[in-house]
Amino acid sequence: MILFKNKILLVLSMLLLLFSCSNNEFNLNSGDLLFQVNKSNDFTNAIVNTTGNNNNLSFSHVAIVLAEENKICVIEAVPNGGVHKILLQNFLDSSAHNSIGKPLVVVYRLTDTSNVFNIVINAKKYIGLPYDSAFIPSNNKYYCSELVYESFLNSKGEHIFNSNPMSFCDSTGKISLLWEKYFNKLNKPIPQGVLGTNPNDISKEKCIKEVFRFF
């Protein structure tokens, strides 16, 4: 009887081990993009309400993976830290989570990775620069998807991703009240129609594909 119980415990342990390995078998590469559903606040709600969604997930943030020799880091542009490098786990912890505690983060990868080394070098150049809270191009400040847009260049130095006229309107076609309050606090005009980017639009680009979900 004891032997039988021990065999059951052994089988259960092996299944748990296999399950654990299957959950951790995906390897992040430098240059991968992490699309994140942020925890709810006025700022992220404003982004989500005016930029649509991708497959029912509304991404409010995007960051670049930096796979170093003994750790995985993330390069991102955030309001409270500008462009900086943090550990992957810290990035995942900052995400919204589903009902079983998994971070709502989706990994995308370039379909053509031949220039990814230079892309990562480009991204590193922006570390230490301030956050672009007003979403204005060419001011040496960067918001999250702007960092990605400027970092991801092809071998000819051309942008891989597209920029489009920005819209701060909600589903009614009017400027979102959240954005009105946001820009009033900044004492800046709303850059409606100015060329820019957002996480949801980038996630739909054909030059990248979804390769993994953390949930």
Question: Domain coordinates of the chain in residue numbers?
Answer: 27-213
pLDDT at 57: 77
Beta-bridge partner residues of 11: none
Predicted confidence (pLDDT) at residue 1 exceeds the cutoff of 90: no
pLDDT at 52: 52
Residue whose token pair is 């991708």: 54
Contact between 203 and 108 (Cβ < 8 Å) = yes
What does the mean pLDDT of the chain come to? 85
Instruction: List, for residues 62-101, the tens digit of each pLDDT value.
Output: 999 999 989 999 999 999 999 999 999 999 999 999 999 9
Predicted confidence (pLDDT) at residue 20 exceeds the cutoff of 80: no
Q: Is 158 left (phi over 0), alpha (psi -120 to 50) or beta?
A: beta
What number is the average pLDDT over the span 158-170? 95
The residue ranking higher by pLDDT, 73 or 48, is 73
DSSP string computed for 179-209: HHHHHHHHT----TT-EE--HHHHHT-TTEE
pLDDT at 56: 62
| Of 210, 170, 174, the residue nearest 47 (C-alpha) | 170
Burial class (CB in 10 A: 0-12, 13-18, 19+), 156: exposed
Q: Is the pTM of this model over 0.85?
A: no
Query: What span, in angstroms and rounded, lies between the C-alpha atoms of 205 and 14?
Result: 41
- For the segment(s) 27-213, the CATH number from 3.40.50.150, 3.90.1720.10, 1.10.15.40, 3.10.450.50 is 3.90.1720.10
Amino acid identity of 151?
S
Predicted confidence (pLDDT) at residue 163 exceeds the cutoff of 90: yes
